[in-house]
Every structure is written in structure tokens, then in C-alpha cells.
Structure 1
Amino acid sequence: MAEFLYRLGRWSARRARTVIAAWVLVLAAAAAAFVVFGGTLTSTVSIPGTETERVTEQLQQALPEAAGGSGRIVLSTTDGEPFTDDQKAAISALVADAAEADGVERVIDPFATEADRADQAQSIEEGRTQIEAGRAQIAQARADLEASQAQLDAAREQAGNSGELDAQQAEIDAGLQALETQEADLEAQAMTLEQGATLLELAEGITTVSADGSAAVVNVAFTEPQLSVATATKEAVTDVFDDAPVDGVEADYSSDMLESTPALFGAGEIVGLVVAAIVLVVLLGTLIGAALPLVTALVGVGVGAMAVLSLSGVIDMTSVTPVLGLMLGLAVGIDYSLFIVNRHRRQLKEGQQLDESIALATGTSGNAVVFAGFTVVIALVALNLTGIPFLGLMGSAGAFSIATAVLIAVTLVPALLALVGLRILRKPERASRDAAVHDEKQSAAKTMGTGRAVARVLIGVGVLVAVAIPAMDLRLNLPDGSSEAHDSTQYQAYATIADKFGEGQNGPLLVVADLPGSPDEAELQTMQVTIAQTLAGQDDVAAVAPIGSSKDRTVAAFQVMPEAGPTTASTEALVHALRGLSIDGVDDLGVAGSASGNIDISDKLADALPTYLMVVVGLSLIILIVVFRSLFVPVIATLGFILSYFAALGGVVAIYQWGWLGGVFGVDSPGPILNFLPTLLVGILFGLAMDYMLFLGSGMREAYAHGVPARLAVVHGLRAGRSVVTAAAIIMIAVFGGFVFSHSAMIRPIGFALAFGVLVDAFLVRMLIIPALMHLVGDRAWWLPKWLDRILPDVDVEGAALERRHPHREAAAQQEPAKQ
């Protein structure tokens, strides 16, 4: 591979304009594909085979009008006073207009709903009055008939039996029988009425107009399931309220009414790039040298992001997917270019020819880049093994961005280096290039000392374990409106509902009951009351309301309002409790709804995480054993990755779930952690950790292989790679850190987790703990069983063999003139 890359680098340098033109064409093709084929992104995620999906599919068959997606428009008066009659009329008119939009099943007028509720309550009271009056009439009629019976009995005693008395007796008996029938009918009516009153009472907590009359919720039902609702359909509804605002009324929209697509680039990302540029200038010493990795990285993310987005027209893609590709492509693209440029500059300062230096840098550092990139790609593609489609797609998109960055590093970077020529060096460096003498000063190197090594290990491990402790309290879910920026309409809608109606109304549950046989209307209502009362009796249930039944009355659906919000632990426990509930006369009880769906996704992701982590750990061990031909180094490197991973999770939990330093990181509403972040973090952090391990460890291995004592080889490897790995890590932290201040609640914790993970892995694990452990074990760090040594392939990651085949010191007379 190193020889092939050497030739590729030389070819790219000699045909620089051709290579640059080719990449410009690739970038243009990706842009054209995005324009022509790009579709829409979604902020929702789904996983096939969850309980929520099963119940939703059941509803689509039995009760399609209740299976569609939903959204809410939250209206509130600007002065905090109750809605006026004019405002109510204007809102009702807008509701009627919105209901005409294509793809909308119905839009519920909140004031009409409350009026209907009041009418029902009044009807029940009137019905009770009528029933009491009926009971009184029956009682009076019964008393009259009993009096007539007494008179008839007295007449029979005096006169004996006669035809006239027998006729009177028949009339009395018929009257009594009629009264019994009337009484039975009246009691049946009373029972139906009281059942209705019970259901109305259980549903008291589900309201559409606040108690103070200053806020109202317009519920929108779509014909398609939540994930299939077109953006145009949602926009058609929101446009009705935006285009004709009601005086004195503010309209806010719930998260499921909007497609929250994060911006690919914002102020935070620009700051990250500025920091990366400063680091590059400090390390490389020239503006041209600093600009080159930035330019190539931007080309790479342009190709990667637009190519991925061009598939959004045919693939359901979450809004995080292209942002993740951009985040990875930008950070890795800068780093990979930096490794090659830095090696090239060092070789030029040693007096090497320009073309030969470019080729050799591509064959050596480029070989390490390819190998490191390959490990990241494998780890990300392995996300498909989780069986979770949206996560596999994110991994594949990220892997494509990494692969693009690698291709650019070994083709476009050599081409640009050829055009730049010796200007990649500072003027003093160019002037003294011919006289430069390379001196590794091996004799001046000193080992760190056993006591110092022990202290490094204890301090480093202690810090990582302490930081990782919060990870034990990790809770997963998807962000809701409370996690959005406080100036967003989604947050305002969430906050208004929580304040005016209760937290639970932000995440209602849909409970579906399978009823045996084919009950009649009376039996159905009786079952509805029984089920509703049982549901209402569960902990953390605020209200229950029946919302419909199938035509054959074998499926009944209920809306259950939790006491707490959709991402709380109590609501999660409630969902599991309802699914385990047993009710007499009910064959099966299922739970659906957006809150339930998010809980199911989080549970499945949590179940998939250990398997994926074991796959990645196994992959880490195999790769490192092959590269370093050692057992000890791969084991401590892998254990170090595990420590870094849990430390990164601990930091995320402390800030985004517990709210520590919330003001610094813009966390106004702490809550559960993004449910796919832990799994995604495994793949990405593993790849990046392996990058730094390869660039540091291969130098140690090479020095040891050339006869340098084991403990001194650790020092040599650390010194050789420390500056460039430090710069690369700072650049990654800066780029990932720029996303910490993204407007998207999904992107912020991902950016922080990656930035913090790189920080602890690069500086604590790779440059503090692992060198100290290798010092402590000495030669045993490189021990490998002979039988295993014989079967392992010889992987020359840093291209040392290539460097020996292509001597890099040339006579001054053979050096090509400096290009100005």
C-alpha cells in the first residue's frame, strides 16, 4: 500500500492541474445531484418492529382516523387576558380554513370542543333531573296502582268475584308490568348516563382551553402516519395561521408541526474553523500551509455532504445525518491533510527534492492516513450491525465523508503541494534548507522514571473514572420541545402547554384495547368505562378519554394523559406499566404515540449498544495486534478507549442531563440524552482514538524495531508524534466544539461528546496513561507469541520500509531549484 501511495502522490504532483480539475468536477457533480435529486429531511426517527409501530399499524387497519400523525398549534393572548369573542371567532375561522388543506384529516376548534364538553355536562345534569323526575312519576304511578289494588281487594271481599273486578285487576296488573318496563328502561338510561358522566369526569384533565381562558390548543390530525406527513402538508396548516394573524394572539407550533432542519453551518462552526486555522498557522508557520488543509477539508465536506443530501429524495433521512457527515468530514479532513503536509515540510527542511518529498509524504504519512481512515470507516459502517436503519444510514453517511477525506488527502493534497512548491516553508526555512542537518538527538532523550510513570497512570485513570461516574445515571430519549432554544416557537409551544395545561399534555399516550367477540353499543360503553377507570387508577395518570372504536367494536382507543412530560422517568415507567396491565374482558392492551415511540427507540438502542461495543472492542484488538505486533499495547489501548468513551458519556450526562455548567453550554432545560448518541459515539470515538494511537504508537514501534531500548523508544515515539497529534486533537476539539452551540438540540450534545471524547482520549489516554504503562512494563510491551507472529501480516503503517527503499537525502547539486 505504501508503494502504491508513493506512486499516486508522485503522479498527482506531476499532474496537479488535472487532479484539481477532477475534484472540481466531482464537487460540481455532487452539487448538481443535490439540486436535482435532493429531498426533505425529517427530525423524527423510527425503528421497525417496535411495539409502538405494531399498535400504530393495528390502528391503521381498525381505526384509520386515529392512526394518522398529529400536531398542535398553541394560541395565547399577548396580554394574558381571556380570549375575546372576536378573537374566538377569528380563530374558529382559521381552524375551518386549515381543515381544508390536503392531507389533513381534521382540525379541532378548541372553543367548540370546550362548548361541546359544557353541553355534555349540562345534558348529563338535565338527564339526571329527567331521570329523577321519571323515577318520581313511576313511584307515584306505582303508589296509585297500589292504592287501586287495595280498593279492588276491599271490593272483592265485600262483593266477591265478578267480571268487572277481574277487568280492573287486569288493568292494574298491566299497569304494574308497564311500570316495571319503564323502570327498567329508566335505570338503563340512568346507567348509560352515569357511564357517560364517569367518562367525562375521567377526561376532565384533557382540555383545549386553559382554566384562565388565555391559552388554547388547536389539535391537528393528519391522514398519513407521523413519519409520512409531507412537509408541504404541515406548512399548509401553519401558513393559514401565519398569513392571517389574529390581533392580540400569538401562535406557536409544536415540534411535530415543523421540520427542524439544522443549518449546516453557523457561527459556532465558523469559530471552530478560526481556531483550527490559528493552530495550523502556529504549527505550519505559513498562511499557505495553514490554508491548504482547510481548503481540502472544505472540498471534502462539500462533496460528502451534497452527495449524501442528494439521496434524501429517495431515502428517509434524519436532519442529523448530513450534519454528522459534515462534522466528521471537516475535522478528519483537516487532520489527515495536516499529517501529510507536516511530513512534507519536515522532509523539505531536511533538503529533500520537492516531487520526491510529496511522493514520500503520501507513501508514509498518507499510508497511516489510509489505515486510520479505514478503521474509522469500518467502525461507522458497522453501525449497520445494530439493525437500526436510521443509525446505519448515519454511519454509512459518516463513513462516506471519511472515505472522501482520505481520497482527497492522498490525491488533492499532493497536487496542491506541487503548485505551492517551496512556499509551504517560511522564507528562513527556504534559505537554510540546503544547510539543514537532521539530528534526532537520541542520546539526549531520557525516560520518564518509574515513580513519575506510576503517578501518571494513577492520576490519569483517577480523573477518567471520576468523570465517567455520571454515566451510571444515563437516561435516553429523543429531545422534545423543552430542549429547543428558548426563543424558538417549539419551546414556546411546549412551555405554554406545560404552564397552562400540565406537563403531561406535551406527550399524550394512545392506548389501544382488543375486545373479545363483537360487543353491542351498551357492552362497548361498559367496557370503555371499565378500561378507562383501570387506566386512570395507574400511578402518574392525569386523565383518560376514549377517542373511538372500530366499526365492529372489537378495538377501542383511549387517550391517556400522563402527569409528567414525555421524556421523564415516570412517563417511561408508565408506558411499561400500561403494557403489562391485565384487564378482565380485554384480550390485549397496546400503547402508541410519539412519547411511546421515543421510549421504544431508546430501549432498542440501549439493547443494541453492548453488542456493538463488543464488536468495536474486538475490532480494536485485532487491528492493533496486527499493527503493533504486540498483545500488551492493543489491550491497554482498547481499555483506554473504553475509559475515554465512558468519560465522554459522563461529561454529557453531567451537562445535558444534570444541568451542570448549563449556562456555559446553553443548556436551559436539562433532560435525557439523545438516544442514539451513545451508540454513535462508540463508532466515531473508536476511529479517532485509533488514529492517534497509530500515529503515536507506530513511532514507538519503529524505534524499538531499530534497536532503541523499549523505555527510550516510548519517549522517541511520543516526541516524534506529540506536536502533530496535539495540533490534530486541538483542531478536532475546535471543529466539534463549534457544533456545541448549534441551534439544534440534537446536534449540541453530539458535538460536545465528540469534542470532550477527543480531549480526554488524546491528552489523558494516548499521551499520558499509555506511555506511562508502556514504560512500566518495558520490553514486555512488545511481546508476541512466536506462532502468532508468524501468521500475522506485516503492516508497515508509517511506511518505514518505503522510506528505506527511497532514500530521502539527495545531493545539493541534484535538488531542484526553489519555486518562488
Structure 2
Amino acid sequence: MAAFLYRLGRLAFRRRWYVVLVWVAVLGGVGFASAAASELPDDTGSMPGIEAQNALALMRQRFPGNVERATARVVFVVPAGEKVTDAGNRAIIDGLVGEVSRGGQVAGVVSPFQARAVNEDGSTAYATVTYAAASGDLTDATKDHLRAAVDRARAAGLTVDVGGPVLASEPEVGGLSELVGVALAALVLLITFGSLAAAGLPLVTAVLGVGVSMLTIFTVGGVFGLSATSSTLASMLGLAVGIDYALFVVSRYREERAKGHPPQEAAGLAVGTAGSAVVFAGLTVIVALAGLAVAGIPAAGKMGVAAAGAVVVAVLIALTLVPALLGFWPDAVLARRVRTGGTRKEADNAGTRWARFVLRRPVLVLLGSVVSLAVLAVPVADLQLGMPGDEAKSTATTERRAYDELADGFGPGFNGPLTIVVDAQGAGDPRVAVRTIAAKIAGTPGVVSVSPARFNPAGDTALFTATPSTAPTSEQTKDVVRIIRGERPATSGTGATFLVTGTTAVNIDVARKVQDALIPYLAIVLGLAFLLLLVIFRSVIVPLKAVFGFLLSVLASLGAVVAVFQWGWGAGLIGLQQTGPIISMMPIVLVGMIFGLAMDYEVFLVTRMREAYIHGESAGQAVVTGFRHSARVVVAAALIMIAVFSGFVGADLPMIKMIGFSLAAAVLFDAFVVRMALVPALLALLGRRAWSLPRWLDRLLPRVDVEGEALSRTWPPASRYAADPPRVSS
């Protein structure tokens, strides 16, 4: 591996023009293809194997053409002391209903007075607008017509808002906060390298990689169903790892140049050593993210595959484009003392001093690390999964205001009705069977009302809604759904059966399926981590330590997410409008991403320790040497990732906001607590035993040269170039 990458680095350095032209051609090619591609589809809650999804499939089969239609709920709130039934207010509402009914793509409008959609005190009412197309197919003219009618009713003195997806604002991904994150990453690079060129090169290559990845997703997204969330996740991870991987290669290049190697040789050695770590770190990220595709959750699988593709591009750029660009400016990335003819000094730095501190007090550092992460993980015990709806949006949006107005006027459960699909094909009298089932569900504790049933043309299937007394995301609503489904045996005598669906039921079922898949997926990821690190480090203890640290990082970051997004601690600091359950898919996506990022730091840091150990240093001194060479770069890489991920906390999409926060927290915990404290403390306590491997296992495992040991045996050391040290090509 190291020898091959060494030759690749030298080749890219030597044939730099060809490498740059190839990447420019790739960028242009996918850009041209994306221009002709269809838009990315919207996120979908489709989840095979759950009852709510089966019910939707039955509805599509028995009620063709009705399931996919867009609907809007126009909510009216009158001033205090008035009622919607007052003549003036009624005239305004009737006028809006008539105007909206004449709009394009409108299939029908039901007046609140026709449907008795007025609350008890007469302060709130709503009209239902049904369109002849899905919400994604509505034209701008159709939406503008609805907005104009609403504005005229508002001007007449009523409070009017529109619930549902028809007028929902398009969420912004990151905006200014994302740019601030990139700017902070640039500042970290500049402080780390002390050179504009060295700081700018990782940024340029990472942005190019994200461009290639995003344009590729736009090209194939319509075919494979990759949504806007998938593309955002790919850009987030691609930017972070793209900067980090280039950072490690450039840092090693500077180190080799400072030792006296000429530019082309240094580029080859940098790609052969740091590049090997990049390959295996990237491989762990790719495998973990791609593994989401087999977790049985389609949306998470698509997000994982898109993000894994972005990581593949980041790895390829680090191995080819970075050494090629170093060939154009071989000395611009060097430290000033090297450019002026100075030599590299193996002086103590902050990493060395920290490592020696840990070696003197390993038990104290180990206990402090474990206890602090365990305390942060405590909130996980209260983890509640769900899918936030309009209640999680900003109060500046009309859909959030409509949600609150309906909850105030009709009760918290009004925004999350349960749709009951009754299959009465086996019933003697379908209408009697449906009435029996509806009466049974109406008597269920927690159900406040049941709507009249609506039959399909064949008369063998019926739909009605059951409105719970509690909010859609509350635990009590989950209990109501469970109780209703448990009543099926009691109604089996009718010859009919029923399924429970609707947005609330779908979210409950998705959350349950994710919970069922999380533990097996976590076990697979932990097992994979152990096997990969067993091959890389040829040690049993080091992989076990890494798996233990990874588990602590996951639990601590999930605990932080629960504390902020569910309990509301510090929610205002990140612009969180509403607390509630954690988005269902977030934990399993987070596990895959944290696994990859944690293995990044494990490979980059511990590889340098093992490199020193196999070259003859004692176990304790190897820890110090590893920190001397890698601590500053690992800290810089972690700060860059934290900055990039924090930039996505400003997103309007709740999933992206939550993932950005959780990944920033995970990198903080993993890099600074686990890898910089727990890892050296354990290695100090274990000594030589940490690097031991049973002989029988040593014979079975394949040999992978991540540390570049083959390079030190095959290629000459820097002393060969002592006659001309250290030469600056400019």
C-alpha cells in the first residue's frame, strides 16, 4: 500500500498538468450532465415493512387518485370578542372560499360553515382546499392565487394562515452560518501552517471535491431518489473530510521537506505515509456510511450512499490533486524557516508536553475522561424518537402559525389525526362492520372524536379519522396508537380488519423501526471497527480501546442532542424554535458518521505512535513521538470539522440542524477527550502489551503497511540529500 501510494504521489507531482486537467474535465463533465438532469426529489417518509406504510398502499389501491393530492388548511382567527359566525366575518370567509375555489388546479374547497369546522367559542375556523395535483406539482400561479386571497382576508381584519405544504417556505441549508464555518476553518489552517498557500490548498481542493460530489448527486439524484437532505449531508461531510485529508498530506509533505527531502521525493513520501492513513480512514467512513443502505431504512441508506460518494472523491483528491498542486508551488506551503534554509528541530511542543503529562498521571486522565463522557451520556436514557412537523418551524412561517392556531382552537391532537383504513372485503355487511369498528375506536381512552366514514366506489373499504387528545409528538399519542391497534382482535367478529396510518402513525412506526435497527447496526459498526483496526495496527488492545472510545463518543454526543433538542437546554443559542423528539433517522445516521470520523483521528494519531514503536522506541516514548508529530494536526483537523459542522446548525431543515450540531459535538468529544486523553492514558497504562498480537493471529491477518515501513527499507533516507539540504526549488 505505502509503496504504491509513494509512486502515485511522485507521479502526480511529476505529471501535475495532466492531473489538474483530468479533475477539471471531471468537474466540467458532471456540471454539464447536471444541467440536463431533473431536480432532486423531495424527502419521503416511505418505510417498507411498517403498518402505516401498508395502510397507505391499501389506500392507493382502493382509493385511486385521492392519496397524492395536495391539501391546504386555511385557518381563520377573529379578533377578541368577535365570532367567525358574525355577519361581517362570515362574509370575509365566504369571499375567500369563493375566490380560492376559482384558482387553477383547485379540485374543491370546503367552507368551515359547510363542514362545521368552527371551534366551540367561535374564535377559530378553517377551510380545506383540495388540489388536483401533488404539492410538488403545484404551479407558482396556483400558490400566488392562494396567497393573494389570504392577503385580502387579512387586510379585512382577520388573522389568516395556511397550514400544510402548499405555501410552506423552502428551507435554507446553511446560508451565512455555513460561510462563517468555512471562514473559521481557513483561520485554523492559517494559524496551523503559518502560510497562506498551505492554508489555502486544503480549502481549494476540498471545495473542488464538494463541487464534483454535489454535481454528481444532482446528475443521478433523480434516478436513485437522492433528496435535498442527502445532498446537504454529502456536502457537509465532503467539505469536512476533504479539508482534513488534504491537511494531513500537506502537513506530512512539509515535515519531509524540513527533513531535507527534495520536493518530488517529499510528495511521494507524504502520499505514501499520510496518504495510507487517509485511505484507511476514508475506507472506514465509506463502509460505515454505505452500511446504512442495508439497515432497512431507505432514506438513511440514500443519505449514507451520497455521503460515502463524497468521501470517495475527497480521498482521491487528497492522493492525486494535492501532490499535483504541490508540484506547482513546492515551496510556497513550507514554513518560513525552511524556505530560508533552516532545519527542522525536534523541540518539545504542546503535544509533547501534554503526552508527558498523561504519561505521569494516566489513571487520573483515564478516569476523568470516562466519567465526563459518561455524565454527558446520561440524557440518552430519555431519548425519544419522532419526526417534527410544522410545530418545529419558525413562528415567522404561516404553516407554524396555522399549527398553533388550530392547536389553540381545537386541541393539541387536532394537528395529528389518525387515519383508519377499514378493509371490509370479508365482511357480510361492510357498513355495519365499519360502524362497529368506528364505535370501538371512538371509545378508546385518549380519542376525542371520530369522523364519519367515507367508502370507496366498490363499497368494500372505508376511511375515517380518529383525533387524539394529545399532540402528535407526545408519548401519550404513541400509547393511543398502540391501544387502537390492540383492539383489532375485539373487532375480528365483524369480518373486517383495519390499519392505522396518517402522518402521526407513520412517524411513530418509523421511530420504532429505527430503534429496532439501531442496536444491530451499532453492533455491526463496532465489529467492523475492531476488524479494520486489528488489521491496521496488528494489536488486539488498540482496536478494543478504539471501539470503547467510539461508543463513549456516540453516547455523549447523543446525550448532548437530547439535552438541547429534546430538553431545550441552550436551544435559543442555536435558533431552535421548538423542542421535541429527536428526528427518527438521526441516531442511526449519526452512528455511521461518527464511526468514520472517530476512526479518522484514531488512524492518524495512533499510526504515528506505532510507526515510532516499530522503529525501536519504547511504548511510552512512542506515545510522546506520536503526539509530537500529530497532535497539532489532529487538533487543527478537529477544529476544522467543528467549524464546518457548526456552520450547518444555521440550517432551516431540522434534520440538517440536528446532524450539524451532533457531529460538531461528537468531534469535540472524540478528538479532545477520547483520542487526546483516553487513548494515551490507556496506552501508558498498558505499555508494550498494547502492541502485542498472538502469533497465530499474526499469521492469519493480511499485512497492510499504513506506517510506510516499506518506504524506510526501500527508499533512501533524507541523509542521501545531505549534500544539498534542504533545497528550496524557488
Question: TM-score, length-normalised on structure 1?
Answer: 0.83
Q: CA deviation at 1:91?
A: 1.2
Q: Equivalents in 2 of 1:516, 1:504: separation in Å?
A: 31
- Secondary structure of residue in 1 paired with 2:680: helix
Q: CA deviation at 1:556?
A: 2.5
Corresponding residue for residue 324 of structure 1? 233
Q: CA deviation at 1:70?
A: 4.7
Counterpart contact for 2:260–2:726, Cα < 8 Å: no
Corresponding residue for residue 46 of structure 2? 46
Counterpart contact for 2:174–2:650, Cα < 8 Å: no
- Secondary structure of residue in 2 paired with 1:607: helix
Aligned letter for 1:572?
Answer: K
Q: Equivalents in 1 of 2:729, 2:107: separation in Å?
A: 71
Summarize deviations over 1:61-83 as a string: whole Å, max 9, x none.
Answer: 33346544553333335856555
Picking from 109, 112, 133, the partner of 1:110 is: 112
Corresponding residue for residue 732 of structure 1? 641
List aligned pairs for 1:142-153, cutoff 5 A: none
Corresponding residue for residue 424 of structure 2? 515
Picking from 474, 480, 495, the partner of 1:574 is: 480
Counterpart contact for 1:340–1:365, Cα < 8 Å: yes
Aligned letter for 1:541?
Answer: V
Picking from 342, 346, 353, the partner of 2:255 is: 346
Does 2:140 correspond to 1:231? Answer: no
Counterpart contact for 1:710–1:779, Cα < 8 Å: yes
List aligned pairs for 1:272-421, cutoff 5 A: 272-421=181-330
Corresponding residue for residue 92 of structure 2? 87
Q: CA deviation at 1:612?
A: 0.9
Aligned letter for 1:112?
Answer: Q
Corresponding residue for residue 718 of structure 2? 808
- Secondary structure of residue in 2 paired with 1:513: strand
Counterpart contact for 1:97–1:240, Cα < 8 Å: no
Distance 1:449 1:21, change over 3 A: closer
Q: CA deviation at 1:223?
A: 6.0
Counterpart contact for 1:696–1:717, Cα < 8 Å: yes
Q: Equivalents in 2 of 1:694, 1:79: separation in Å?
A: 64
Aligned letter for 2:92?
Answer: Q
Distance 1:301 1:34, change over 3 A: same
Q: Equivalents in 1 of 2:400, 2:354: separation in Å?
A: 58
Q: CA deviation at 1:371?
A: 1.3
Counterpart contact for 2:612–2:625, Cα < 8 Å: yes
Q: CA deviation at 1:645?
A: 0.6
Picking from 130, 141, 147, the partner of 1:242 is: 147
Counterpart contact for 2:74–2:129, Cα < 8 Å: no
Corresponding residue for residue 57 of structure 1? 57
Q: Aligned pairs, how many?
A: 716
**Greater displacement, 8-17 / 613-622:** 8-17
Corresponding residue for residue 562 of structure 2? 653
Counterpart contact for 1:506–1:565, Cα < 8 Å: yes
Q: CA deviation at 1:216?
A: 3.4
Q: CA deviation at 1:391?
A: 1.5
Corresponding residue for residue 180 of structure 1? none
Does 2:533 correspond to 1:627? Answer: no
Q: CA deviation at 1:426?
A: 4.2
Corresponding residue for residue 661 of structure 2? 752
Q: Equivalents in 1 of 2:425, 2:8: separation in Å?
A: 72
Q: CA deviation at 1:15?
A: 2.4
Q: Equivalents in 1 of 2:153, 2:26: separation in Å?
A: 52
Summarize deviations over 1:328-361 as a string: whole Å, max 9, x none.
Answer: 0000000000001111112222222112111211
List aligned pairs for 1:138-177, cutoff 5 A: none
Aligned letter for 1:563?
Answer: S
Summarize deviations over 1:116-153 as a string: whole Å, max 9, x none.
Answer: xxxxxxxxxxxxxxxxxxxxxxxxxxxxxxxxxxxxxx
Q: Equivalents in 2 of 1:663, 1:327: separation in Å?
A: 23
Aligned letter for 1:607?
Answer: D
Distance 1:439 1:223, change over 3 A: same
Q: Equivalents in 1 of 2:458, 2:217: separation in Å?
A: 47
Q: CA deviation at 1:715?
A: 2.3
Corresponding residue for residue 392 of structure 2? 483
Counterpart contact for 1:445–1:712, Cα < 8 Å: no
Structure 1 unaligned runs (5+)? 115-207
Distance 1:298 1:428, change over 3 A: same
Corresponding residue for residue 5 of structure 1? 5
Counterpart contact for 2:649–2:657, Cα < 8 Å: yes
Q: CA deviation at 1:577?
A: 1.5
Q: CA deviation at 1:660?
A: 1.1
Q: CA deviation at 1:499?
A: 1.8
Q: Equivalents in 2 of 1:95, 1:698: separation in Å?
A: 67
Picking from 637, 641, 648, the partner of 2:546 is: 637
Q: Equivalents in 2 of 1:70, 1:331: separation in Å?
A: 38
Q: CA deviation at 1:495?
A: 1.6
Counterpart contact for 1:45–1:318, Cα < 8 Å: no
Aligned letter for 1:241?
Answer: L
Corresponding residue for residue 765 of structure 1? 674
- Secondary structure of residue in 2 paired with 1:313: helix
Q: Equivalents in 2 of 1:323, 1:9: separation in Å?
A: 31
Distance 1:78 1:20, change over 3 A: farther
Corresponding residue for residue 594 of structure 2? 685
Q: CA deviation at 1:512?
A: 1.9
Q: CA deviation at 1:53?
A: 1.8
Distance 1:258 1:533, change over 3 A: same
Aligned letter for 2:508?
Answer: I
Structure 2 unaligned runs (5+)? none
Does 2:629 correspond to 1:741? Answer: no
Distance 1:77 1:749, change over 3 A: same
Distance 1:390 1:414, change over 3 A: same
Q: CA deviation at 1:700?
A: 1.6
Q: CA deviation at 1:500?
A: 2.0
Q: Equivalents in 1 of 2:567, 2:553: separation in Å?
A: 20
Cα RMSD (Å) of the superposition?
Answer: 2.6
Aligned letter for 1:62?
Answer: R
Counterpart contact for 1:357–1:808, Cα < 8 Å: no
Corresponding residue for residue 710 of structure 1? 619
Summarize deviations over 1:175-222 as a string: whole Å, max 9, x none.
Answer: xxxxxxxxxxxxxxxxxxxxxxxxxxxxxxxxx334454543333445
Q: Equivalents in 2 of 1:317, 1:105: separation in Å?
A: 31
Distance 1:703 1:426, change over 3 A: closer
Counterpart contact for 2:171–2:652, Cα < 8 Å: yes
Q: Equivalents in 1 of 2:256, 2:659: separation in Å?
A: 38
Corresponding residue for residue 451 of structure 2? 545
Aligned letter for 1:692?
Answer: Y
Identity %: 41
Counterpart contact for 2:352–2:627, Cα < 8 Å: no
Corresponding residue for residue 33 of structure 2? 33
* Higher Cα Rg, which structure: 1
**Greater displacement, 356-365 / 254-263:** 254-263
- Secondary structure of residue in 2 paired with 1:542: strand
Picking from 759, 779, 784, the partner of 2:688 is: 779
- Secondary structure of residue in 2 paired with 1:423: coil
Q: Equivalents in 1 of 2:690, 2:727: separation in Å?
A: 46
Summarize deviations over 1:742-774 as a string: whole Å, max 9, x none.
Answer: 122121111111111111111111111121111
Distance 1:701 1:588, change over 3 A: same
Summarize deviations over 1:552-609 as a string: whole Å, max 9, x none.
Answer: 5432221111112211111112112111112252531210111111111111111111
- Secondary structure of residue in 2 paired with 1:590: strand
Q: CA deviation at 1:697?
A: 1.1
Q: Equivalents in 1 of 2:232, 2:358: separation in Å?
A: 45
Q: Equivalents in 2 of 1:219, 1:297: separation in Å?
A: 48
Question: TM-score, length-normalised on structure 2?
Answer: 0.92
- Secondary structure of residue in 1 paired with 2:329: helix
Summarize deviations over 1:255-306 as a string: whole Å, max 9, x none.
Answer: 5336765434411111111111111001010111111111111111111112
